[in-house]
Structure 1
Amino acid sequence: MKKILCYSLFVFQIHFLLHSSSANNNNNYNKNKVPAIIVFGDSSVDSGNNNFIPTIARSNFEPYGRDFPDGNPTGRFSNGKIAPDFISEAFGLMPTVPAYLDPSYSISDFANGVCFASAGTGFDNATSNVVDVIPLWKEIEYYKEYQRKLRTYLGEEKANEIFKEALYLVSIGTNDFLENYYTLPQRRCQFKKVQQYEDFLIGLAENFFKEIYHLGARKISLTGLPPMGCLPLERAINIMEFHGCVEEYNNVALEFNGKLGWLVSKLNKDLPGLQLVDANAYDILLQIVTQPSRFGFEVAQVGCCGTGRFEMSYLCDPKSPFTCSDANKYVFWDAFHPSEKTSQIVSNYLIEKYLAKFR
């Protein structure tokens, strides 16, 4: 009788453990308060979508990615990881956020995080045309396609829960000014004052946020413009001011960020349940650029790649003898994009100051 009882208890324990394991597997998408990281934007957050479209705005070659796991040039405009990767990992999700167009990933990989961003794009469709990249409206179309696939994979209820509880990271806008308005004549002829163009972009931004809200997004982090006058490329051509930061561009960034802050407040009032966060990184980036040693850097005026003054994308020649040996000493990786170390510092700052409430 005792043997039978012990055997019955043993079978019950095995059955319980197996059932618990199965339940855990079925619920692994809900183990975190934020079940997924979903990314929209430009090269600051593109994890490799441009690898799969016909554009010159690519970085899927050495020396890009040399500090990424296995030294893999993924299409990230960095020597290693970018901000969404660090944020995803900090939220207990994947250590890297995969690009939606990368065929080596499937919908099961995208269940916990996906990136729709495209280097070179902007709020303005005309910006994406400059180097033939994915416009923001197309990023939304890819998101809709992703939603359909995830509903098929997980079921309607589970998928909709992910769309609602996911943290959406949006980083976009710099290209609208530096690649479009200040470089090409079309928008400057249409908008005589840069403030008019800013207002035009704010209208486009409002439409974008309303659209993804109606598609289920509720937790959204918006990162505005960096001190774009301090990017190495802008400093390199600022000869008359001895290669200092271009204050006009920085002032525009501050002005535009202020308007984005107003938009965030407006949308949070207008759209029930929306938690749109103005995760402004301008101040921390300016501190890093102007006080590099405080953050463990040695060089802030130029990037690591090549001479660091104008190189980015294909100009980042893997055979250049000028590329630095240790990117951790540099605030910028190339003439336009931060190094992995800078991205990590900024990500930690944004998480602590703005995103902690979502954890």
Structure 2
Amino acid sequence: MSSHGVQRWALTTCFIYLLLSSSCTATAGKVPAIIVFGDSTVDAGNNNYIPTIARGNFPPYGRDFDGGVPTGRFSNGRLVSDFLSEALGLGSSVPAYLDGSYTIDQLATGVNFASGGTGMDALTAKVASVITLSQQLEYFKEYKERLKLVKGDVVADEIISEALYVFSIGTNDFMVNYFFMPLRAAEYTPEEYINYLVGLAEAAVRDVHELGAHKIMFGGIPPFGCVPAMRMMNHDAPGECNEEYNRVALMYNAEIRAAMGRLDGEFGGGARVVYADVYDVPYDIIANPSGYGFEEVAQGCCGTGAIETSVLCGMDAAFTCQDADKYVFFDSVHPSERTYRILADDLIRNSMQVFM
């Protein structure tokens, strides 16, 4: 064989190898960006830039984040969305959209629109004066246009189409709104309110799909009756999980799962909508903390661990625990980074596999 023939053979072999091995390349090749909507379980610091007291941009929040920086995440370190981003071969954290220190180029591989304290019900957001879900979607439209200006229509459309969209929202609609504010409880039974929220969730997913989303992961809600603050306020059994609240969470999750399944079947063009279970793993951790290496489940690491969250967490910093990895919760509502990592690992193995 001539030298030219050897070169052609080598190039052809290399090309075939690349084609055959493309399915084994890093997932970032298939998912170029992660786009996040939701509440404090995924807020990366958007609340820092709006007039609200629902913030986590001060110690002891963020003490185990890179550099010990309190970014506005309501935990001692990273969140589920950050771990998902890392698993996709993208950044190790997803930046907040309202943080002006990030350029659109930096946001092209990941952007976070979430706002701590919000819900699908706009009334929930009003309680803490935070960003509604509808406003998060408006920010996404703005982001899309900014992306086109910098990347061009073709590249921007590809990013928007192939990105993974993550929704983590709904707990505050029950924990902050329905069970503690008079209006919705007077208007709806729990079942009726669940149906109302599911309708809002479906509308949000339809909106992002119409804007170009093809890979959507919508989370349920955790067993919020077991968070330390709900245990403290459990009048029937102080210190124990409020099982009524957990039953409502299960009812809601069943309806959300069904709704996402319907949308998954309805959308064409290769679009997928996947329900992400965030109830079973946290419930198992709470029921069997030692099996996961935790020592404290009924109290948060921050302050006295009973009712502190947001500004109250900062006020009791002197009482904050030494090792947050031993605590399921960092404050009285939000999980520790280690809990988020365990949950993220489960989502990566199960819910997210369809996109990888």
> Structure 1 length as normaliser, TM-score?
0.90
Query: For residues 207 and 309 of structure 1, what CA distance do their matches in structure 2 show?
Result: 36
CA deviation string 1:3-31 (max 9, x = no partner): xxxxxxxxxxxxxxxxxxxxxxxxxxx96
Corresponding residue to 1:260 among 246, 256, 271: 256
Corresponding residue to 2:200 among 193, 197, 204: 204
Query: For residues 317 and 156 of structure 2, what CA distance do their matches in structure 1 show?
Result: 47
Aligned to 2:80: 83
Report the secondary structure of 1:261's partner residue. Answer: helix
Query: For residues 206 and 76 of structure 1, what CA distance do their matches in structure 2 show?
Result: 27
Aligned to 1:50: 47
Report the secondary structure of 1:39's partner residue. Answer: strand
Aligned to 1:317: 314
Q: CA deviation at 1:354?
A: 1.3
Runs of 4+ in structure 1 displaced over 4 angstroms? none
Query: For residues 114 and 282 of structure 2, what CA distance do their matches in structure 1 show?
Result: 21
The residue correspondences of 1:202-241 to structure 2 (distance < 5 A) are 202-241=198-237
Correspondence 1:289 to 2:286: yes
Query: For residues 151 and 317 of structure 2, what CA distance do their matches in structure 1 show?
Result: 48
Corresponding residue to 1:353 among 339, 342, 350: 350
CA deviation string 1:136-192 (max 9, x = no partner): 00000000000000011111011101111100110000000111111111111211x
Q: CA deviation at 1:318?
A: 5.4
CA deviation string 1:208-253 (max 9, x = no partner): 1101000011111111110010011000111431411000000000
Aligned to 1:301: 298
Contact 2:58 2:314 in 1 (8 A): no
Aligned to 2:149: 152
Report the secondary structure of 1:238's partner residue. Answer: coil
The residue correspondences of 1:15-26 to structure 2 (distance < 5 A) are none
Correspondence 1:119 to 2:116: yes
- 1:264 counterpart letter in structure 2: M
- 1:203 counterpart letter in structure 2: G
CA RMSD of aligned residues (A): 1.3
Report the secondary structure of 2:317's partner residue. Answer: coil
- 1:268 counterpart letter in structure 2: D
Query: For residues 354 and 133 of structure 1, what CA distance do their matches in structure 2 show?
Result: 29
CA deviation string 1:317-336 (max 9, x = no partner): 25533210000000000000
Query: For residues 245 and 31 of structure 1, what CA distance do their matches in structure 2 show?
Result: 40
Aligned to 1:19: none
Report the secondary structure of 2:318's partner residue. Answer: coil
Corresponding residue to 1:328 among 325, 328, 342: 325
Report the secondary structure of 1:302's partner residue. Answer: coil
The residue correspondences of 1:104-143 to structure 2 (distance < 5 A) are 104-143=101-140
Corresponding residue to 1:169 among 162, 166, 171: 166
Report the secondary structure of 1:221's partner residue. Answer: strand
Q: CA deviation at 1:274?
A: 2.4
Corresponding residue to 1:101 among 98, 101, 109: 98
Q: CA deviation at 1:269?
A: 1.6
Q: CA deviation at 1:203?
A: 0.8
Structure 1: state its 5+ residue gaps: 1-29
The residue correspondences of 1:22-37 to structure 2 (distance < 5 A) are 32-37=29-34
Report the secondary structure of 1:169's partner residue. Answer: strand
Q: CA deviation at 1:265?
A: 1.2
Structure 2: state its 5+ residue gaps: 1-26
Contact 1:63 1:318 in 2 (8 A): no
- 2:143 counterpart letter in structure 1: Y
Percent identity between the two aligned chains? 50
Aligned to 1:10: none
Report the secondary structure of 2:298's partner residue. Answer: strand
Contact 2:28 2:88 in 1 (8 A): no
Contact 1:52 1:101 in 2 (8 A): yes
